[in-house]
Amino acid sequence: MGSIATITKPYRAAMKKDWESLKRYYEKNPEAAGLPLTVTKDTVLHIAVHSNDKKLLKHFLDNAPPFSYKVTDVYGNNAVHEAAATGNVEMAKILLNFDRELYCSTTNDGQKNGYCSDELLQIMNKRGETALFRAAAFGRTKMVRFLCSKIKNRDVHRRRHDSTSILHIAVLGKYFEIASQLAVWDAYLPGAVDENGMSCLQLLASMPSAFKSGYPMGMLQKLLYFCLPDIGGDDDKELGDSDGDKELDDSDDVKESGKLHSSQGQDLESGHGRILSHQSNNSGSAISKMYHGVLRCMAKGFPAIRKLWGIKKKQKGVLELVQILAETDLTWWNVNHGRSGPSGYEILSHDKVDEAEREEEYQFPSDLPEQTKTTSPKETPLIAAARHGIVEIIEAILDVYPQAIEHINEKDESIFHAAARCRRKEILDLLPSSYALMPRLGRRITCNGDSILHQAAYLGDTHHRDRPGDALRMQSDIQWFKVPYSLTCCFKISM
């Protein structure tokens, strides 16, 4: 009871944001800075991080015992974890600089080692999450960028204890800009799978609403969507997203400026940008700022505009992510056909492609591992994207690997069978009729003996209900049937 009574006074001061009283208490009791202050075992340093007061955090670090900033709460989170979750870059910098001053060794020229704070960033909580992992899970874009510039050993940050990768957690949270940054930062992540064998591209293939092709919009929304820029808008209100970010390290500033002004960087290297005058650049920048300012004012008064702006920004981010993931996705290559062996597929890396090409086609070992026999079939990103009508994923994969158009699953179904079954006209329109291999693709038969026309004739759960009455629905079915029919009309069979 006595220990609980001693923390009542500082806790009440923290609730009232009476930071001066809180300082005086811990100046008299400096050893209490590492002791729990809340029921979840948060210390005063956890509270200071959430206060967004840099001077307050520096005061406690200077007067508290040196180990206090590493004390964890009941979930295993220390002060750096809390700063990463809130997105407060300035607080994270203070903690890392303090750790650097304590534990960094000097080099021969007397300079501090730039990566000395990497050990602090490797500390995991009870779920196996590092500070970078938590920043990605909470969608803190600037914090992720900042921490990536400070990390030397990337292995620790890739997965938490349940095998969920940091890229998966960003995709599941629909933080696509962060996911793109992580995929570029660590080449291991794009090919990583979770405990169920799902890659990030497979997760995206089951998120049609994350793409423009799968997000329904009315005519007014489409017009407004066209007028909105794909930058700015529904930015994350991180505590670190302020003018104070200008004080970040030069490496972080270079990355930010390189993203925002990539065209300028290209002009400086190639020399083409010198054709443009400074006046035209300034006038264009002024007009752009005015345009963005007007849209931001409109977004504040109209939440629907703000929401649509944020959606467009996320859809741009998911396109960039898909282009990165498509380069490493080879699930379309080695697929066990239903006529020849058990279902399922193996996710290949580029190192295995040459070896797979040397194997005889449709040849499988006589004694399969027990795990292979019991594995249930999984949809590849191509088939899943065709079923959900996600044109962007299919276009990205075909742009890198055009031969993936012939991919078939364990039922010998191509992307056109899946599109016809689910009535995805936009997928069937991807391939022009002049394509040289179109007759061969169009007459492919599944294990059940179904052609593309058979698949198109099924009603199923995706049957269109956009017209009232049976007569109009039949008319809709006839009009739809003409779409896959045009793919197969070149090889009609006369009975």
Contact 199, 191 (CB under 8 A): yes
Residue 148 pLDDT more than 70? yes
Mean pLDDT on 366-378 = 38
* Residue 295: pLDDT band with limits 50, 70, 90: confident
Contacts of 40 (CB under 8 A, 6+ apart): 73, 74, 75
- Could you tell me the two tokens for 380? 């590849």
Taking the mean position of all CA atoms in its chain, how far away is CA 232? Answer: 18
| Residue 335 to residue 48: CA distance in whole angstroms | 54
* Residue 330: pLDDT band with limits 50, 70, 90: confident
How does the average pLDDT of the chain come out, rounded?
A: 75
Query: Beta-strand (E) ranges in 270-413?
Result: none
pLDDT value for 271: 37
- Could you tell me the two tokens for 191? 């090919």
Q: Helix 303-328 crosses helix 278-301 at what angle (to 10 degrees)? A: 120
DSSP helix/strand/coil, 152: coil
- Could you tell me the two tokens for 316? 């741009």
pLDDT value for 475: 72
Residue 428 pLDDT more than 60? yes
Classify each residue of 355-370 as buried b or exposed e, where b means 16 or more C-beta atoms within 10 Å of its C-beta.
eeeeeeeeeeeeeeee
- Could you tell me the two tokens for 392? 């962007």
Q: Greater confidence, 1 or 283?
A: 283
Mean pLDDT on 43-57 = 91
Mean pLDDT on 95-111 = 71
Residue 223 pLDDT more than 70? yes
Residue 230 pLDDT more than 80? no
**Predicted TM-score of the model (pTM):** 0.75
Residue 432 pLDDT more than 80? no
| Residue 230 to residue 354: CA distance in whole angstroms | 40
Residue 233 pLDDT more than 80? no
Mean pLDDT on 185-208 = 90
Residue 112 pLDDT more than 90? no
pLDDT value for 236: 46
- Could you tell me the two tokens for 361? 């086609």
122 vs 50, 78, 153, CA distance in Å? Answer: 21, 12, 8
Residue 82 pLDDT more than 50? yes
* Residue 216: pLDDT band with limits 50, 70, 90: confident
- For 187, what's the count of Cα atoms within 13 Å in the CB-facing half-sphere? 4
pLDDT value for 248: 36
Least confident of 126-130, 277-281, 413-417: 277-281
Least confident of 139-153, 179-193, 274-288, 327-341: 274-288
DSSP helix/strand/coil, 108: coil
Q: Is the dihedral of CA 103, 140, 77, 126 positive or negative?
A: negative
Residue 123 pLDDT more than 60? yes
User: Per-domain residue ranges for the chain?
Assistant: 3-107+115-157, 194-230+298-332+378-402, 408-488
pLDDT value for 161: 93
Share of the chain above pLDDT 70, in %: 68
Strand-pair partners of 193: 199
Mean pLDDT on 215-243 = 66
* Residue 429: pLDDT band with limits 50, 70, 90: confident
- Could you tell me the two tokens for 69? 């900033």
pLDDT value for 165: 95
DSSP helix/strand/coil, 42: coil
pLDDT value for 283: 54
Classify each residue of 242-274 as buried b or exposed e, where b means 16 or more C-beta atoms within 10 Å of its C-beta.
eeebeebeeebeebbeeeeeeeeeeeeeeeeee
The correct answer on CATH 1.25.40.20 for the domain covering 3-107+115-157 is yes
Residue 244 pLDDT more than 80? no
Mean pLDDT on 446-464 = 70
DSSP string, 225-293: HHHS-SSSSS----TT-SGGGGGS-HHHHHHHHHHHTHHHHHHHHHSGGGGS-HHHHHHHHHHHHHHHH
* Residue 134: pLDDT band with limits 50, 70, 90: very high
| Residue 393 to residue 386: CA distance in whole angstroms | 9
pLDDT value for 276: 36
Mean pLDDT on 154-172 = 94
Residue 29 pLDDT more than 80? yes
Contact 118, 153 (CB under 8 A): yes
Q: Greater confidence, 401 or 278?
A: 401
Nearest Cα to Cα of residue 347 among 328, 374, 363: 328
Least confident of 121-125, 189-193, 274-278, 407-411: 274-278
Taking the mean position of all CA atoms in its chain, how far away is CA 206? Answer: 14
Radius of gyration of the chain (CA): 28
Residue ranges in 35-130 assigned as alpha helix (H): 44-51, 54-63, 79-86, 89-103, 118-121
Tally of CB atoms within 10 A around 228: 19
Residue 172 CB burial class (10 angstroms; 0-12, 13-18, ≥19):
middle
Tally of CB atoms within 10 A around 473: 16
| Residue 201 to residue 351: CA distance in whole angstroms | 19
